[in-house]
Amino acid sequence: MTDATARAAALLREHRESIDRLDAILVYTLAERFKHTQAVGRLKAEHGLPPSDPAREAQQIARLEGLARQADLDPEFARKFLAFIISEVIRHHERHQSSGAHAGAATQDQTQET
């Protein structure tokens, strides 16, 4: 192994350690985010609030795209990321619906809150 290759291997290790730390941030932040969407789902079911809010979702998409541009992240990726999160929130709600006795239509409709 040449000196240059050894330096590259050391740099690679440092990048991977950073990636691992960033992944921990991502996992814990996603966990916190799901706690909030779950609480929102319960709130809407308990208080008969409108289950879907297209204006809110459009606002979220526009905001994420803006944040992505500021962070030098592909805005298309930001859109796909939100779609991925939405699909996971839907899966959560569906699982709760199938396991709950009286979840019914209200729970199904909460899937719009992301």
* Interaction of residue 8 with a copy of itself, rule CB under 8 A: yes
Contact (CB, 8 A) for 40 and 109: no
* 39 part of the interface to a copy of itself, by CB under 8 A: yes
- Applying CB under 8 A, among 15, 52, 62, 100 the residue interacting with a copy of itself is 15
Question: What is the DSSP code (8-state) at residue 93?
Answer: H
Q: How many CA atoms lie within 13 A of 82 on its CB side?
A: 20
Q: Indicate the DSSP class of residue 90.
A: H
* Residue of 51, 57, 86, 88 interacting with a copy of itself (CB under 8 A): 88
Q: Say what angle helices 75-99 and 3-47 make with each other, to 10 degrees.
A: 50
Q: Measured between alpha carbons, how far is residue 104 from residues 64, 69, 107 in Å?
A: 32, 40, 6
3, 24, 101, 102: which one contacts a copy of itself (CB under 8 A)?
24
**Binding residues among 40-59 for a copy of itself as defined by CB under 8 A:** 40, 43-44, 46-49, 56
The residues that touch a copy of itself, with contacts defined as CB under 8 A, are: 4-5, 8-9, 11-12, 15-16, 18-20, 22-37, 39-40, 43-44, 46-49, 56, 60, 63-64, 67-68, 71-74, 77-78, 80-82, 84, 88, 92
